[in-house]
Structure formats: C-alpha cells, structure tokens
Amino acid sequence: RGLIAKRMFDKRHLCQKHRLAEHLCGYQNDFVPETAIIRKGVWTQVPRDFFRKANTTQGRRSVFFLKDSHRDNGKGVRVSLGISSSLLSKIDKKRTYVLQRHVDNVMLWESAYKFDLRMFSLAVFRPGEKPKFYIYPHGYCRVNPTKWERDTAKKSLQITNVSFFKRQNSSYLLVPTANFTGFMPCIYERIKRAIALSCIKTQEAMHSQNRKNRHCGYQLFAFDFLIDNDQKPWLLEVNASPGCSRNRRPQSMVDTLQEMFDQ
C-alpha cells in the first residue's frame, strides 16, 4: 500500500513545511502565521516587513521557530526570542527551513497551558482524477503539561508535539474536540476553510505527475492548528503519518478515526 500511495501523488506539497508555505504564501496573516523560507542558506520567501517587525521592541520579545522542513515529530525545531544571531547560526546551508513567528494572543487551555488542535482530512485517489479531500468535523487537543510563559525560548514550553513529550518521558493531555467547550462552531468553520484552501492550492501539484496512474487509494492527513483568543485558527503544519495506533492514543481517539473511515 505504501509503494502504491507513493506512486499516486506527491504529498510533499502538503507535508514539507517550505512547500506548504510557498503554496499558501497568499494566506499569511489570514490563517498562516508569518513564515519565511530559507533554502540552503538563501532566503527565498520573506513576508513584507518581516525583519522590520522582528527588530521592534515587541519583535525582539516574540518567539520564533526555526523548523527543518524535512523533519517531524518535534525534531529539527529551534526556538528563539527574536531572530537572534545564535538562531541564525544554526542554519545548515545544505538544508531547507521555515522561520515562523509565534501567533499573537494565543488561546490557552484553562488560561494557563499551551495547546493545539489536530484535525483530520482523508484524501481519496482514483485513476486519472485529482485527489478528493474529505474533512472530518472532530479532532483532538494536544495540551502541553507545563504552564506556558510568553517570553521564553524554552522548547519544552513552546511546542505541543506528543512525540517530543514521549522522548522526554513527560506527561501530556489529549482531549477530543467534542469535550472541548472552546471548540465553537465558528472555529470549525474557519478550520474547514483553511483545510479546504490548503488542499485546493496543493491539489494540482500533487496530481500533475500522476495523471496516468491506474490505482485507487487513500491517504490520511493531520492538520495542526493554534487558536487565538479571537477564535481564529492558524495552520502550523500538515502531517501524512499521524500516530493512530491504540497504544499511542486513547480509545476515544481511535474511535474518532474509525468513525471517519466508516463514513
């Protein structure tokens, strides 16, 4: 199945951070945080006023994430207050990165803990057709177990990746959106729009080299969002291999995924 799926479409356009940022460059400050791209030491995409804002008093106190575009599970992520020289010194000129500014006014779990929302979309592939994406209306919150501090570059406080917590032998909290009172209908509608636009913008590139494909298949994608206090979702990244096994997720999470496939 894996080999067939690999031949069917180019999922890199959704799942490699720099490619996704390229496709969604027109939606920065809409549902995509301010994101710059560094390809092998060259700044190939820089949002307007990115460095000017970073050099203000507020910008120097803002959290920035330098993310290796080809790594996941919380690996290859460096955190800094402002765009510091020590952060830039970590750039390997043989690799590609995105540099992303933290979302302002982020919503906190119980007004104290940072969290993100993981939502799911299923891509279905048929011979000679562009992939079709189906969005499931439920997901889950991933809650960092330590009280959040705004003005800190401590990685353990700024990320919500479950794999990172497991490597650190730290506790974490997973809560279905059905049990999250802050998951308002307006948030879901905005998330649905962000997922739909992400899929539309990458659909042609994913399909272009596979028009003669004769296989059918599917791919599960996980979309990770931060929510701000204005109930606005911000897309952080997309994953093509979200952990779904029973020994990695609570039963309620497994049931959610099973229901999605059944529908």
Here the tokens at position 136 are: 């499931």
Structure tokens at 67: 């993310």
Which residue is listed with tokens 């906190």?
Answer: 108
pLDDT tens for the 263 residues of the chain, in order: 444 444 456 788 999 999 999 999 999 999 999 999 999 999 999 999 999 999 999 899 999 999 999 998 888 999 999 999 999 999 999 999 999 999 989 999 999 999 999 999 988 877 777 778 888 888 889 999 999 998 899 999 999 988 888 888 888 888 888 888 888 889 999 999 999 999 999 887 876 555 556 667 788 899 999 999 999 999 999 998 776 655 555 565 566 666 666 66
pLDDT of residue 73: 84
Single out the residue of 263, 4, 261, 2 nearest to residue 126, CA to CA.
4
Give residue 187's Cα distance to chain centre: 16
Report the alpha-carbon angle 243-101-240, nearest 5.
20
Instruction: Confirm if 27 and 233 have CB atoms less than 8 A apart.
Output: no
pLDDT for 122: 86
Dihedral of CA atoms 198, 204, 209, 215 in degrees, nearest 10, equals 80
How many CB atoms are closer than 10 A to CB 180? 18
